Amino acid sequence: MTEAVPSYLSPTGQEIVFLLLGAVAVGSALLVVTTRQLVHAALWLVVCFGALAGCYLVLTAEFVAWVQVLIYVGAVVVLMLFGIMLTRAPIGRSADLDSGNRLVAALVAVATAAVLVTVVVDGFRTAYAPLKPGAGAAKELGASVFSTWVLPFEALSVLLLAALIGAIVLSRTDIPGGGSPSPTAPSADRKPPIPPPGSPPVHPHEPGDAPHAPGQSSSSPEPPTHRTGGR
């Protein structure tokens, strides 16, 4: 006898919890992109990542859930908050965070979500995988990554290393092609400006020379002479 496939009209407790966590994740994700406060957006992102970690726990993927919490919530969001504080970004409501393409973005998002949901429902309509405890543990995932998916894993490592090197090159100013130097920084290759036609020639001052007043000769004055003898 074949195992009976449960119906969508009679969901189990795990499916109800999964749907509730999915609704929390979607709602918080919408608040991330619609709020006008950067700090609130980062905090709503924490809620979204936490809901995703809960979804992984329901699917018995304990290792992925803890990685989601430790890396995304504990590292990425904290890094974003530090970036907001160190760059002195506006903490309150900011009109610059809003865009005039909200309608177009909403239409694209709804169309993309409809296509994804249609493909997933059509492809996995009758698929059912029973949730077995321990299938998402670190041992099973490690064996799968380093046996079946070892080539994509190494390719991703090389890609992340290339991105890190590129970020270092772009952030340094002493490397040709890196960040642009400050406009106030002196440059040895900078040439003096060319005066317009008809203007008097400008002689550059040597280091240590005092500036001359207008109308005063730049040559050194003659030493004073003293007369000797009678009238």
Mean pLDDT along residues 14-32: 90
Name the DSSP letter for residue 229: S
Secondary structure class of 115 (helix, strand, coil): helix
Q: How far apart, in whole angstroms, are the C-alpha atoms of residue 68 and residue 159?
A: 21
* 177 vs 13, higher pLDDT: 13
DSSP string, 24-50: HHHHHHHHHHH-S-HHHHHHHHHHHHH
| Amino acid, single-letter form, for residue 89 | A
Instruction: Convert the pLDDT of each residue in 68-107 to its tens digit.
Output: 888 888 887 888 777 777 776 666 666 666 667 778 888 9
Its sign, for the CA torsion 54, 56, 58, 60, is negative
Angle 126-130-136 from CA coordinates, rounded to 5°: 125
Instruction: Convert the pLDDT of each residue in 141-171 to its tens digit.
Output: 788 888 888 888 889 889 989 988 988 888 7
pTM: 0.57
Checking if the pLDDT of 43 tops 50, the result is: yes
Instruction: Convert the pLDDT of each residue in 212-226 to its tens digit.
Output: 555 555 555 555 555
Q: Does domain 13-101 have CATH number 1.20.120.1200?
A: yes
Domain definitions of the chain by residue range: 13-101, 137-175
